[in-house]
Structure 1
Amino acid sequence: MAPVGTTEPQIRVANSRLRVGRFSQAGDAVTLTQADATTCGAACLLAARLLIDGQERRRLGRVLEAGRALETGGAPDAGPGTGALLAEALNLRQKTLQRTINSAGLWLASWPRALGSTPWAVARAMSMTGAASAKPLPAGSAAPAGPGAPDASPAPASPGRPGQPMRYEVRWVRDHGPHWPAQVEKMRRHLARGRPVLLLTGGPLGLDRGAPGLAGLSARMCGSLVVPRHYVLALPWALIGQRDPGPGAAHLYEPGSGSVRALDLLAARDPRSPGPRQLGGWPRILALLNPADPD
């Protein structure tokens, strides 16, 4: 844990939101949300790095210290609040990560820029994350548990060898197919070991919202064309001070709202209708971005 007086932030779930900050006084923590409509992948990547990579937290702390010194001339209580500086720093970091992600995926000319980052490029960026630093956390904290600190769940196994970040891969899935339960169970094993997993969600070009006449017919005709739309992040429950949500379920960070809520991934969903808010309102899970290491 950072020494008292530094600005190295913590990351924790508070009021069903993923919050980043020092949590020492009012206004010095903010909800981590995506910077714009195309940075959901970068926001999920940043959330994962802040959870499991101490270098990312220290980097953010240095940015905050530099920003405060620039704005206040070194006076600790002058200038804008920490929350405003933190929100700006998180947005800028997302933009930087997005540029890095996209520079590795521009060869995919068939992937429209409006859809954001390609899953292969996001998986590559996750592979560069220091996943081996992940440790279980006490409830409500993103710093390692100290002596006697309450732990919300058993410690996960080490997610990787020290200094050896894991390679992430893209696995396309059929979330209504016969192999889906086994794929969810494998994902949950990664989460139990402290390994975040990204989910690529989407849906048909036209969602059927019960529109009558030609509008409803158009939506049904487009229903067979499924398009990737959004990334959400499945969080290891020990890293956010939560308990195992149960068989088939995961705690999902949705970057559009910054919310963290459990979702039963095996529950039936209408693929032609709007999906749950945990999936960004999309009904389908199209791919899992998870570690490629064998169990």
Structure 2
Amino acid sequence: MPTSLGRGPDDHPERTVSAPARAGGDHARDTGGRRRRGLPDRPDARPPRGAAPPAAGEGGGMDELTPGTLLGRQVDGVTCGPSVLVVTAVLAGSGWPGAVAGRFAAAQRTAHRQANRLWPRALGTTPWGTRAWLRRHAPAAGPFRVRPATRDALAAVPAAPGPVPLLVGSRWLPRHWVLVLGADEDGRWRVYEPGSGRVRVLDLVLLRRGDPAAVAGVLGWPRPWALLLPAGRA
């Protein structure tokens, strides 16, 4: 399943989208779906590529990863999956992959090589490669089961005991990995979006009523395709 991805949409550090609001390849889309080419990074809004997430135990648990928290950006157009893998491993207490502690960019590339033993790295990372990597390198985070992003599977996300990798994309193809960190009391999800490098908030009303532009404004792409839930969940 190709998961070639892109940079996230322009970052709004404290943004919470609760009513109607892509990133793919090297381009982003505005809320009307029009392609915007060659937009420069905004130094006041985007963290540098490869900025490192906190080590496990630093700054508290996932509940303290509030909207706008910087966890680190993917280093290129195909490392959203590895970014999610590394952040999941760190938050679960499994540490960094290999001898790259403190260097998020190097950790992404290491995780990408490890996860894509057969699948071409230029096409991103598959759900099964993601699951296999987590089993080998972040056992504290799982085990995981690959599930299609059905209504029932998405409803099980808030009960997950740890981060939930979520694959999103267009209507036709999966394109981008994000990481659901948890759900707040009002039901909204806190999500790490690697294109921006920050924690964002998704109001599930947007998913339920099928508002693709608004969902893409948070997750980078409008449609959930698959997710990794801890085994034994829904």
Instruction: Give the TM-score, by structure 1 length.
Output: 0.52
Partner of 1:277: 217
Partner of 1:121: 129
Instruction: Kindly state the Cα deviation for residue 92 of structure 1 after the two structures are TM-superposed.
Output: 0.8
Aligned length: 173
Please state if 1:169 is matched with 2:145. Answer: yes
Of 60, 63, 68, which residue of structure 2 is paired with 1:16? 68
Please state if 1:100 is matched with 2:114. Answer: yes
| Cα deviation digits, residues 6-55 of structure 1 (max 9, x gap) | xx943674771334xxxxxxxxxxxx111110000000011111111254
Of 177, 198, 207, which residue of structure 2 is paired with 1:231? 177
Residue segments in structure 2 that go unaligned for 5+ positions in a row:
1-53
Instruction: Kindly state the Cα deviation for residue 172 of structure 1 after the two structures are TM-superposed.
Output: 1.2
- CA separation in 1, counterparts of 2:81 and 2:229? 14
Partner of 1:246: 186
- CA separation in 2, counterparts of 1:125 and 1:255? 18
| Cα deviation digits, residues 101-129 of structure 1 (max 9, x gap) | 001x43xxxxx754301111012112234
Instruction: Kindly state the Cα deviation for residue 130 of structure 1 after the two structures are TM-superposed.
Output: 4.0
Instruction: Kindly state the Cα deviation for residue 131 of structure 1 after the two structures are TM-superposed.
Output: 5.1
Instruction: Kindly state the Cα deviation for residue 186 of structure 1 after the two structures are TM-superposed.
Output: 1.1
Instruction: Kindly state the Cα deviation for residue 294 of structure 1 after the two structures are TM-superposed.
Output: 4.3
Answer yes or no: is the 8 Å Cα contact 2:84–2:177 preserved in 1. Answer: yes
- CA separation in 1, counterparts of 2:69 and 2:137? 23
Instruction: Kindly state the Cα deviation for residue 183 of structure 1 after the two structures are TM-superposed.
Output: 2.4
| Cα deviation digits, residues 184-206 of structure 1 (max 9, x gap) | 3311100xx2x1101100014xx
State how 1:18-57 maps to structure 2 within 5 Å.
18-19=70-71, 32-56=72-96
Partner of 1:203: 170
Instruction: Kindly state the Cα deviation for residue 259 of structure 1 after the two structures are TM-superposed.
Output: 1.6
Higher helix share: 1
Instruction: Kindly state the Cα deviation for residue 265 of structure 1 after the two structures are TM-superposed.
Output: 2.7
- CA separation in 2, counterparts of 1:90 and 1:45? 11
Identity %: 34
| Cα deviation digits, residues 184-236 of structure 1 (max 9, x gap) | 3311100xx2x1101100014xxxxxxxxxxxxxxxxxxxxx11110000013
Q: Secondary structure at the match of 2:173?
A: strand
For 1:227, give the aligned amino acid.
L
- Relative distance call for 1:294 and 1:13 in structure 2 (3 A) is closer
- CA separation in 2, counterparts of 1:14 and 1:251? 7
Range that drifts further, 251-260 or 51-60: 51-60
Answer yes or no: is the 8 Å Cα contact 1:200–1:286 preserved in 2. Answer: yes
For 2:179, give the aligned amino acid.
L
Q: Secondary structure at the match of 1:200?
A: strand
For 1:18, give the aligned amino acid.
L
- Relative distance call for 1:246 and 1:57 in structure 2 (3 A) is farther
- Relative distance call for 1:51 and 1:57 in structure 2 (3 A) is farther
Task: Kindly indicate whether structure 1 or structure 2 has the higher relative contact order, using CA contacts under 8 Å at least 6 residues apart.
Answer: 2
Q: Secondary structure at the match of 1:232?
A: strand
Instruction: Give the TM-score, by structure 2 length.
Output: 0.64
